Structure 1
Amino acid sequence: MMEEVQEVRSALSVHGHDIKVTDVLRDGDALTFVIVSQKLSGTGEYHVDRTYDDFEWLQQHLFSQEDVPGIQGVIFPPIPAKPQVNASAKVLKQLGFLGLGEWQPYCKALETFLRQVASHSMLEKNKAVEIFLTSTDPPGRQRARKNIFNRLSQAVEEKRKEGHKDVDEFFQAARDQNLNLTGHSKNAAERFLDVVLTEQKIAVACGHFSAALHLCVEAGEDPDKQAFSRICVKLSEVFESMKKNMTSTAANDVSTLGLGLDLESRYQEAEKEMLFRRTCKLVELETARRNAEKAKPVKKTAMEEVKKAAETEFDQICGVAKQEIARFEGVRVEILQQALVQWCEQQLLTAKESADQFNQYLQAFRGMA
């Protein structure tokens, strides 16, 4: 069992951009993910086994860095919802593309989460990241500590802060844009998921029809029956090919644009949380200023100190937040562009393979005629 992690800054000993989640091991309903990281020294790799609880342990430590100036301005890389074997319909809706039954997309999502954390200039310094990626022991099970998201949960009760007018036009515009994009990205992911689910249903239907055609095959020496049976067999092969092509198309959709839209949606939510944390701090600052103005002489000095501390913290958060938004805008465009390019490439490849196969079947039917 690992020792309790202190929030000490430390450099990673692995290549953050080359972290891989290579496999998932099942033991009943328990899932364990195999993580491989390339050592910076070039002398080998780290292989560690982690459960989803371990990922939450890492995220908890990232959220708990209250001593890091401006940490609340960070757009924390979003972790996928907890996976479950034989999940309910509600859980599947939360998981979206990551809950379609294949574990490869989910492993890819966890891999992206780790790479984003390990490549973040502030988050990668947390000692918990190094321990998570390199130690063969499982992370310690520690009591939940107060962190910025505990405060966020308390702030959610004060809904008035969500619509609070911002003093900075940059952040007001960022909030308005995020509110718009959050809804659109979620809707796009849901609609594309409907497309994938429909493709899977079509693949199943093609498989059933292919099997049903074999029931039409009749034995005997009657020329007409023999000809009809040959046609049924060939049609069965055609629909079996359609099933494979449609299954491949659905899988490609998930692994390319599906994962891209899923990550975009979760990252928009992460930016929304960051902007809301900053808004809460803005409200606290304005309250501190009013209290300092109204304070009686005996409390004036103390209230001024509280105001100055709030101003310093707010300025640090704003500085980090502006850098995060600029970085996020560049990354999200790159990720979506890459997902679209990969999707188009796979679509073209599958279409070409399908066209070649159907051309062969067409020639076969012409030969039968």
Structure 2
Amino acid sequence: MMDEAETQLKDQITDLDLKQKSATEKDSTDFEEEETRSSSTEGPDTPDQCSSPSPGPAMLHSEAPPVPLYTVRFTDNVSKSGDRIEFTINVRKLNTGTISTITREYEDLAFLDHQLITNQTKPGLIFPPLPPPPIVDPSGAESRSRQILGSSNRNILGDSGMWAKNCRELEKYLELVVQHPVLGIDPLLQQFLDNKDPPPRPNKVRKGWLSGVKTKWESRNSSARDRDEWFSKEREWVAAYSTNIKDASDKFNEMIASRSRLIQQVGHLAAALNITVAGNEGANGMYNKLNSGFSSSLESIKCGMENEVGNEETSFGNCLELYTRCINAENAMLMRRTSLIVDADAALKAVEKAKPNREQEARDASDECEDALEKCSSVAKQEIKRFHQQRLADFRSSLISYVEGEVRCSRENYADILKSIEKMKSYPVPKISCSNLDPNHNT
């Protein structure tokens, strides 16, 4: 009996070891498969199969990002003096909890962006994109107003609405910089946020005369074949996604612009209804009261439509515009990596063609290019995974905010319309006999 029990125990232990070994081998195989995936293999954009590349949660394996050193918040305090617009920023230092208030112009943030890009030695980084500058001249405001309200419209949109949008965009830019694992600890950023006065900057950031030639050369390298299938699929995904998100952002902005034009027309109609006719007695008086009541109803409807458009712009519209710029930033990083591939291939060919007395020098140059490409690829893969995690989280948050805002605005608009209908029904309209009407008189 004891021998049989020992034999059964040994068999159970052997089976358990085999199951653990099988599970370990399966986990290792799954991990290797996930490491070979790129954004073009699977993702939440389509449930089962994805004809166009898109990243999914299974492929987004990256280390936890470091805790940011700062949080930034743009206030409503925006001042304008001539062509200068100053934004007020509340900066919280997380390690001490202290809060400071600084004022910065757009040009200060543009110079910070220039410094962060030029002083970094890692070509695999995806730099947060700087939003376009605010409109400060009257001609620009007029052009923007015509673009939104229509070419025949002569109304000029106020600066307060645009400044609020500029504050949101610049705040999101600084948030992305602060939360970046490399840029967030850059001394240039700390100097920018810690000092009361902005760092000194030149009047105009000048580019070298070779910058245009370099850009054209990099654009020619975009057609170069990639060595790594993971990056090759990512490049295909970026090419397709950049076109689609740009188209979606443009169409969403067109929808907002059309609704803004409708709001303007409703406002004009409400103002026209307030124009009274002579006399406040008899039919004229009743006509004026009805028009006044209808005008107030249209004003309430107009306010509801403005709230709805504001929600659409601040939630999903801002997210589409942001990631239209972000996907261009990722494409720029992939272009820099492709340029390193071209340089490495050229250096390898130079080794094959080198003369014996120059072979070692050419080999050293080739090894240096290969090392730079390997380091760039390692950083770029982590940056892409972090970028997709941020992208999915931001789109999820913006869509939830967009839907909740639409539901809230729809309920408020429905309640306002019901109140307006009841108000119009409550007006006592006297009954007038048709035989007593004189076409030449008001009574």
With normalisation by structure 2, the TM-score equals: 0.73
In structure 2, C-alpha distance between the alignment counterparts of 1:197 and 1:203, rounded to whole Å: 10
**CA offsets per residue over residues 175-216 of structure 1, 9 Å max, x none?**
110011111111111111111111111111111101111224
Q: CA RMSD in A?
A: 2.7
Equivalence for 2:131: 80
Equivalence for 1:175: 235
Equivalence for 1:351: 410
C-alpha deviation, 1:55, in angstroms: 0.9
In structure 1, C-alpha distance between the alignment counterparts of 2:311 and 2:272, rounded to whole Å: 28
**CA offsets per residue over residues 56-102 of structure 1, 9 Å max, x none?**
22112211234x4xx11111001101222135389859x99xx9952
Equivalence for 2:10: none
Question: What pairs up with 1:98-177 in 2 under 5 angstroms?
Answer: 101-141=161-201, 154-157=214-217, 159-177=219-237
Equivalence for 1:5: none
Equivalence for 1:7: none
Alignment of 1:19 with 2:78, yes or no, is no
In structure 2, C-alpha distance between the alignment counterparts of 1:333 and 1:177, rounded to whole Å: 15
One-letter amino acid of the structure 1 residue matched with residue 133 of structure 2: K
SS where residue 20 of structure 1 aligns?
A: strand
One-letter amino acid of the structure 2 residue matched with residue 62 of structure 1: L
Alignment of 1:63 with 2:122, yes or no, is no
In structure 2, C-alpha distance between the alignment counterparts of 1:146 and 1:63, rounded to whole Å: 13
SS where residue 85 of structure 2 aligns?
A: strand
Query: Any stretches of 5+ residues in structure 2 without a counterpart?
Result: 1-65, 149-158, 430-443
Identity score, percent: 27
In structure 1, C-alpha distance between the alignment counterparts of 2:143 and 2:361, rounded to whole Å: 49
Alignment of 1:211 with 2:211, yes or no, is no
CA contact (8 A) 1:257 1:340 kept: yes
C-alpha deviation, 1:32, in angstroms: 1.3
In structure 2, C-alpha distance between the alignment counterparts of 1:159 and 1:106, rounded to whole Å: 31
Equivalence for 2:88: 34
Could you tell me which of 257, 264, 271 is aligned with 2:323? Answer: 264
SS where residue 359 of structure 2 aligns?
A: helix
SS where residue 314 of structure 1 aligns?
A: helix
Question: What pairs up with 1:320-339 in 2 under 5 angstroms?
Answer: 320-339=379-398
Alignment of 1:290 with 2:349, yes or no, is yes
Query: Any stretches of 5+ residues in structure 1 without a counterpart?
Result: 1-11
Alignment of 1:252 with 2:314, yes or no, is no
One-letter amino acid of the structure 2 residue matched with residue 335 of structure 1: D
SS where residue 80 of structure 1 aligns?
A: coil
In structure 1, C-alpha distance between the alignment counterparts of 2:299 and 2:221, rounded to whole Å: 57
Pair 158,323 (structure 1): closer, same or farther in 2 beyond 3 Å: closer
SS where residue 264 of structure 1 aligns?
A: helix
One-letter amino acid of the structure 2 residue matched with residue 196 of structure 1: I
Pair 230,46 (structure 1): closer, same or farther in 2 beyond 3 Å: same
SS where residue 74 of structure 2 aligns?
A: strand
C-alpha deviation, 1:367, in angstroms: 2.0
CA contact (8 A) 1:39 1:45 kept: yes
Greater CA radius of gyration, 1 or 2? 2
Pair 63,195 (structure 1): closer, same or farther in 2 beyond 3 Å: same
SS where residue 201 of structure 2 aligns?
A: coil
C-alpha deviation, 1:283, in angstroms: 0.4
Equivalence for 1:189: 249
SS where residue 38 of structure 1 aligns?
A: strand
Equivalence for 1:340: 399
Could you tell me which of 95, 107, 123 is aligned with 1:53? Answer: 107
Equivalence for 2:152: none
In structure 1, C-alpha distance between the alignment counterparts of 2:393 and 2:98, rounded to whole Å: 30
Pair 286,145 (structure 1): closer, same or farther in 2 beyond 3 Å: farther
**CA offsets per residue over residues 100-132 of structure 1, 9 Å max, x none?**
952112111111111111111111221100011
In structure 1, C-alpha distance between the alignment counterparts of 2:412 and 2:98, rounded to whole Å: 39
In structure 2, C-alpha distance between the alignment counterparts of 1:153 and 1:24, rounded to whole Å: 39
C-alpha deviation, 1:15, in angstroms: 4.1
Pair 293,144 (structure 1): closer, same or farther in 2 beyond 3 Å: farther
Question: Which protein, 1 or 2, shows the higher relative CO under an 8 Å CA cutoff with sep ≥ 6?
Answer: 1
- Count how many residue pairs are aligned between Structure 1 and Structure 2: 348
In structure 1, C-alpha distance between the alignment counterparts of 2:272 and 2:258, rounded to whole Å: 21
In structure 2, C-alpha distance between the alignment counterparts of 1:90 and 1:241, rounded to whole Å: 27
In structure 1, C-alpha distance between the alignment counterparts of 2:345 and 2:78, rounded to whole Å: 49
C-alpha deviation, 1:134, in angstroms: 1.0
CA contact (8 A) 2:128 2:329 kept: yes
In structure 1, C-alpha distance between the alignment counterparts of 2:254 and 2:234, rounded to whole Å: 30
Tell me which moved more, 83-92 or 27-36.
83-92
Equivalence for 1:9: none
Pair 55,257 (structure 1): closer, same or farther in 2 beyond 3 Å: same
Equivalence for 1:8: none
In structure 1, C-alpha distance between the alignment counterparts of 2:270 and 2:348, rounded to whole Å: 74
C-alpha deviation, 1:13, in angstroms: 11
Pair 281,152 (structure 1): closer, same or farther in 2 beyond 3 Å: farther
Pair 187,92 (structure 1): closer, same or farther in 2 beyond 3 Å: farther
